[in-house]
Amino acid sequence: MQSISCASTRASTPFLDFPLPESPDSLSRFDRSGTPFGQVRYSKAALTGAAAAPADASTGGAAVGLGKNRDTPPCNPRQYRPYVRQATAQRLVSGYWSNEGKNLRGSSVAGCGRWKAYGSALIAQIVVEGGQARMSGHFICGCNWTCEMCARATVARNRSWLRGALFPALKEHGKSGSLVTLTLAHSYDVDWAIPVAALKAAYGLFDKRMAKVYKKAGSVGKFKAFEVTIGRNGIHPHFHILVTHDDDADLVAMEDAMREAWYKAVIEVGGRCSDRGFDFRPNRLNDYAAKIEASHELSSQSTKQGRKNGKSLSQTLDAAGRGDLKAGAEWQRAIEALGSTNRFHAGNLAKNLDILTPSEWDDGAGDVEEVGLDDPEQPLIIEYSFEDHLKATHPSLGRPGLAMILRAAARGGQAKVCLMVDALCRYSDSKRVPTWAPTSELSALDSEIINIAKLRPLAREEVGEYLRVTRVLAAVK
């Protein structure tokens, strides 16, 4: 295993004034807007000048900065888009705290991929293997609504569990399943927490009243997925539920009972429901195509797009990352409305069928790799200053720093990583972000929470103090 360390070049460098070029260059391919939501405005010329780095022999004497690197091919947008979305979410939760003085639930996304995990060395470490780069020993927030990376992992695990554990177990027990979608009317100009709370309250009433119907149909449990999209009528919360039942159950009677119970429950909680508030698709496990459709409907992230004029949370983050301020505000509003809502719930399905739970499921379990003498070369380990990593990936910069660093690692290894981190740190210095003073000048600023973040993941009550540093950016031009 190769291990290469980058010497820190920015920790003791004072703030610098960078000359502005006469002709502005385009922004990085990751961020083509000049206005990150909730943060400072900057011009293309200022960004190009701030990112300009001295010539380096390893690149043939070419200056290295944050603009387009024309020595490398275009990036694969799907490979780095989740990291860009994560960076956008970090800026949005920071901006929300700055404006509202309180945290959104899931604000720990601000440290996902940036802070160190418990017990890890205080150094940033990247593993490059098979042409892919990833961080090692970093904090994982586990937020299923705010963090694109953690949400994708949770979605992938649940989808794999559905296809690899639940569906085969149902077939073995002579069971099938039908897909039910539940929603209610919603409006843009009301508090978005109202339809979310009403939907959950209505489902509670509906589920209790359907207990006898489920038992008669031979149900062994339900798998429930909560989803939201954002459209012209505001937030659209809805449940996708896989209801299990016997192969020969009377599904017509079951559908009628469920429809009546749902409409009644919605009215009782003060909501209203149109004909589109209830959808029933019988026997979604009878053939391969239906199984794929059911698993995709129940567990999806960026692969599932909003229908008609609606946008998923991932699509909303994409728009916010391109500088759409309305999309950014809508994303914040949606996250605030969701609160502590669970995204997936399998109930007693695993216990009743004697299978692993989704959290215990490992898609790679049972796969054995034979290790031979002619194995490909070991992963490349790249290490660099952890302080530089925090600085280069800080939400206040308005740049998807982590995506840019990982892309550099996958394409150019240690040399490109050092140059990219150096360029991002220079840009940070050029903005004179007060919190990120050189190491020799840390005593001049209140950096206690920053030092704590270097040692361990922050507790929920400490995240607000960490995000406090973004408040001063409004005065930076």
CATH value at residue 243: 3.30.70.1120
Do 295 and 245 have their domain in common? yes
Model pLDDT for residues 236-291, shown as the tens digit of each residue: 999 999 999 999 999 999 999 999 999 999 999 999 988 889 999 999 887 676 77
Do 228 and 262 have their domain in common? yes
Do 387 and 341 have their domain in common? no
Q: Which of 2-6, 161-165, 234-238, 255-259 has the lowest mean pLDDT?
A: 2-6
Residue 71 has pLDDT above 50, yes or no: no
Do 183 and 249 have their domain in common? yes
Residue 157 resides in a domain: yes
Residue 362 resides in a domain: no
Q: Which helix (H) or strand (E) holds 167?
A: helix 167-172
Residue 322 resides in a domain: no
Q: How far apart are CA 318 and CA 219, in angstroms?
A: 40
Do 120 and 170 have their domain in common? no
Region of residue 375 (phi > 0: left; psi between -120 and 50: alpha; otherwise: beta): beta
Task: Please choose, from the candidates 354, 358, 415, the residue with its C-alpha nearest in 3D space to the C-alpha of residue 384.
Answer: 415
Model pLDDT for residues 205-233, shown as the tens digit of each residue: 999 999 999 999 999 999 999 999 999 99
Q: How far apart are CA 408 and CA 93, in angstroms?
A: 26
More confident: 42 or 296? 296
Model pLDDT for residues 248-257, shown as the tens digit of each residue: 999 999 999 9
Q: Give the range with max mean pLDDT: 14-23, 413-422, 458-467.
A: 413-422
CA distances 186 to 259, 266, 306, 317, Å, are 19, 12, 16, 22
Do 282 and 382 have their domain in common? no
Do 29 and 84 have their domain in common? yes
CA distances 4 to 253, 274, 384, 434, 438, Å, are 66, 61, 9, 31, 24
Inter-residue contact 96 to 419 (CB < 8 Å): no
Do 400 and 280 have their domain in common? no
Residue 316 resides in a domain: no
Q: Say which amino acid occupies 48.
A: T
Give 433's contacts (C-beta < 8 A, 6+ positions apart). 394, 396, 397, 469, 472, 473, 476
pLDDT for the residue numbered 364: 54
pLDDT for the residue numbered 372: 44
Residue 264 resides in a domain: yes
Which of 353, 388, 416 delimits the end of a domain?
353
Composition of the chain by helix, strand, coil, percent to 5: 45, 15, 40
Model pLDDT for residues 426-465, shown as the tens digit of each residue: 988 887 544 433 333 333 344 677 778 778 877 777 777 6
Do 202 and 264 have their domain in common? yes
Question: What is the mean predicted confidence (pLDDT) over 19-39?
Answer: 33
Residue 371 resides in a domain: no
Task: Give the domain range for residue 445.
Answer: 2-130+376-475
Do 118 and 242 have their domain in common? no
Q: How far apart are CA 278 and CA 259, in angstroms?
A: 6
Q: Residue 375's pLDDT band (boundaries 50, 70, 90)?
A: low
Q: How far apart are CA 334 and CA 37, in angstroms?
A: 16
pLDDT for the residue numbered 45: 36
Do 459 and 430 have their domain in common? yes
Residue 318 resides in a domain: no
Do 33 and 113 have their domain in common? yes
Structurally, the chain folds into a number of domains equal to: 2
Question: What is the mean predicted confidence (pLDDT) over 74-90?
Answer: 78
Residue 296 resides in a domain: yes
pLDDT for the residue numbered 62: 36
More confident: 325 or 475? 325
Task: Please choose, from the candidates 139, 125, 111, the residue with its C-alpha nearest in 3D space to the C-alpha of residue 386.
Answer: 125
How far is Cα of residue 93 from the mean position of the Cα atoms in its chain? Answer: 12
